[in-house]
A and B are shown apart, each in its own frame.
Chain A
Amino acid sequence: MEFNLENPLTNLHHFNDSLFLVESDHMISEDYLKTLKTRDFDFCLRREALSSILEISCNFDPFLSYLAANYLDRFLSSQEMPQPKPWMLRLLAISCISLAAKMTKTEFNLTDFQGRGDGGLIFDTQTIQRMEYLILGALKWRMRSITPFSFLCFFISLFQLNEPPSIIQAVKARATEIIFRAQNDIKLLEFKPSIVSASALLSASHELFPLQFTNFKNAIFNCSYVNKENMLQCYNVILQQEMVMDIGYDDESEIDTLSSSDTPVNVLDRRFLSSSESDKTNGATITTTDTSTTAATTTWLSPPNPNPNPPPPPPQQPERDSKRRKIATGYCNNHRIQLSQTQQQC
């Protein structure tokens, strides 16, 4: 009965076509997407709540964080939050995580999520429960989110890879990374989960099996559920995103200009990245990244920036970026382990 992102239904054996028919129910609204793209205030609000989720749930399975963030997006999409106080965002984040933990049957205690760098801000059970019901109502109890992960096995089966399972797993693992990262990029929020899934796999196969890329592409294009045009658009956005990544890794001087497009650096350090970016939105510039936990969390109770157009982020120093990546990878080591565990399933 527990909810598994790769298999939102409880049927373990067969992919169910009906996912394609209902996936739109699990997307954010076009209006909200427009708001995110045009209003800095909403953009920052989302990012703050998102980084709050990633920060609180860092010690759990990354799929749990992903699911909580999915609830968050869909909640924000359905509700106006004109002037939320920082504690409201915190409560929202905790409640999304709590719901995600219950859905995935993750053992937890509400106290696990509290008192972590929030300056002693503790919510009682009833307050959290009330928020949980508010979220459930807004999401119409559609808590078995259909996400790009739900389609991975289906699209992989279309590829008919005559490769050893380890290679299939490598493609899937790479696509999984891309999908995790896609959640942060608002340019990708407009695409259907199945389209993001197919594009991520295509991008992964482009990297890992360039010779078979055309076959893969044709296999996906032949799938009647896939809109070619959307798929190409989405694929290009992902490709751009990945290019940014590559450049970031190969030549760190380039990342400064490109990272200002708010593209997160890596799924494994997205938690860290987003929290340090929220520092920026609060006007605080924290340059010591060695003590990752304190740096990421000290600003939680500071008032949100009253200026809806925050000043452009200060240019980042290349050393800082590389240092950050190193620390964050180490900090969330368990995420990497769990990722490799989840890859055994297809």
Chain B
Amino acid sequence: MEKYEKLEKVGEGTYGKVYKAKDRASGKLVALKKTRLEMDEEGIPPTALREVSLLQLLSQSLYVVRLLCVEHVDSSSSLKSTNDSSSKSNLYLVFEYLDTDLKKFIDSHRKGVNPRPLPPSLIQSFLYQLCKGVAHCHSHGVLHRDLKPQNLLLDKDKGLLKIADLGLGRAFTVPLKSYTHEIVTLWYRAPEVLLGSTHYSPAVDIWSVGCIFAEMVRRQALFPGDSEFQQLLHIFRLLGTPTEKEWPGVTSLRDWHVYPLWEPQNLARAVPSLGPDGVDLLSSMLKYNPADRISAKAAMDHPYFDSLDKSQY
């Protein structure tokens, strides 16, 4: 790891610390993501091997944060007692560094010296890139399962949006609490996940994309719940309490209870500055029944993007 000069800790990712660092040889900034590996009797843990190689394959897309290389650091070599059976080794995933993320970007438009809406053309461009990145992951059979503005990194100069924190989801499962015991945000979690469905489909990511879309327009979260129950109530109050008719099987999900019966509200009122095409796309991303939710690929062809010059993506 002497190749890199650690500059500062930039985050506590769900699976470990993230550092901003400089590649000593090239002077380029990188993000180092530290992942602890349990020692395995058979060498490299197979799950880590499969996850990281999948990440490597996925990061070929322009809309996924590029994995530059992987460094393995065996901490047992620095320990005095070599027969320490609890010795751990670390895997550093070296990613390209981007200086901001969508959460910070939205925050800077909500508060600060010059609060202002995000330009509609920028929302359109970011959403298109997000759909493209998600479509890329889904076409590789990979669900992100934790899409949120903090996980979408931005290159402000080039106007690029890239998906981060990807791929490690399967081996480590989406935790309720991160390893630092920070509560993992529920705001972007699909209703089927909140209701305890064990079968995940790509639609869980589309729900998150819808929430992020609305948040770019509103500059505040669409469903800011602070518990799984509150999260569901937020959703039901806006979209109406789901029924068996629109979502067959919903009342048989593991965590389904009897909820107050809310009528659906007009979604357009939650995103007042969004035009009818945008509202239509948003509502097709926020369909209750996962099978009815639009796919990432289909979303890219939605009329909302008709005014976008797609050739540049």
A binding-site residues for B, Cβ under 8 Å: 1-3, 8-12, 14, 16, 18, 21-22, 95, 98-99, 102-103, 105, 108-110, 125, 128-129, 132-133, 136-137, 140-144
**Contact yes or no, B52 A18, CB < 8 A:** no
Report Cα–Cα, A102/B53, bound state, in Å.
12
A125-B43 contact given A1-B171, A10-B140, A16-B140, CB 8 Å threshold = yes
**Contact yes or no, A129 B69, CB < 8 A:** no
Which of A1, A14, A99, A144 contacts B139 (CB under 8 A)?
A14
Please, which residue of chain A has its CB at the minimum distance from the CB of B49? A102
Q: Is the interface of B mostly helix, strand, loop or mixed?
A: helix
**Contact yes or no, A125 B141, CB < 8 A:** no
Smallest CB separation, A328 vs chain B (Å): 30
**Contact yes or no, A133 B50, CB < 8 A:** no
Further pairs besides A12-B141, A140-B56: 6, Cβ < 8 Å: A10-B140, A11-B141, A102-B46, A125-B41, A141-B53, A144-B53
**Contact yes or no, A98 B139, CB < 8 A:** no
Q: List 9 A-B contacts (CB under 8 A).
A: A1-B47, A1-B50, A21-B60, A98-B42, A102-B49, A125-B41, A125-B42, A129-B44, A140-B56
> What B residues does A129 contact at CB under 8 A?
43-44
Q: Which of A1, A99, A110, A128 has the most CB of B within 10 A?
A: A1
Which of B53, B60, B140 contacts A143 (CB under 8 A)?
B53
Report Cα–Cα, A6/B280, bound state, in Å.
39
Q: How large is the interface on B (under 10, 10 to 19, 20 to 34, 35 or more residues)?
A: 20 to 34
Report Cα–Cα, A310/B47, bound state, in Å.
43
**Contact yes or no, A1 B41, CB < 8 A:** no
Check: B233 CB closer than 8 A to any chain A CB: no
Report Cα–Cα, A224/B212, bound state, in Å.
37
**Contact yes or no, A128 B43, CB < 8 A:** yes
Which of A1, A99, A105 contacts B51 (CB under 8 A)?
A1
A141-B44 contact given A102-B49, A103-B49, CB 8 Å threshold = no
**Contact yes or no, A9 B141, CB < 8 A:** yes
**Contact yes or no, A102 B44, CB < 8 A:** yes
Check: B54 CB closer than 8 A to any chain A CB: yes
**Contact yes or no, B50 A2, CB < 8 A:** yes
Interface bits B27-45 vs A (CB < 8 Å: 1, else 0):
0000000000000011110
> What B residues does A128 contact at CB under 8 A?
43
A136-B141 contact given A125-B43, A129-B43, CB 8 Å threshold = no
> What A residues does B138 contact at CB under 8 A?
11
**Contact yes or no, B42 A8, CB < 8 A:** no
Report Cα–Cα, A105/B51, bound state, in Å.
12
Report Cα–Cα, A3/B50, bound state, in Å.
8
Smallest CB separation, A19 vs chain B (Å): 10
**Contact yes or no, B56 A142, CB < 8 A:** yes
Interface bits B136-149 vs A (CB < 8 Å: 1, else 0):
10111110000000
Residues facing A in B62-93 (CB within 8 A) are 67, 69-70, 72
**Contact yes or no, A11 B42, CB < 8 A:** no
Check: B57 CB closer than 8 A to any chain A CB: yes
Which of B60, B70, B142 contacts A141 (CB under 8 A)?
B70
Please, which residue of chain A has its CB at the minimum distance from the CB of B43? A129
Check: B170 CB closer than 8 A to any chain A CB: yes
A22-B51 contact given A10-B142, A12-B141, A125-B41, CB 8 Å threshold = no
Report Cα–Cα, A128/B40, bound state, in Å.
12
Please, which residue of chain B has its CB at the minimum distance from the CB of A129? B43
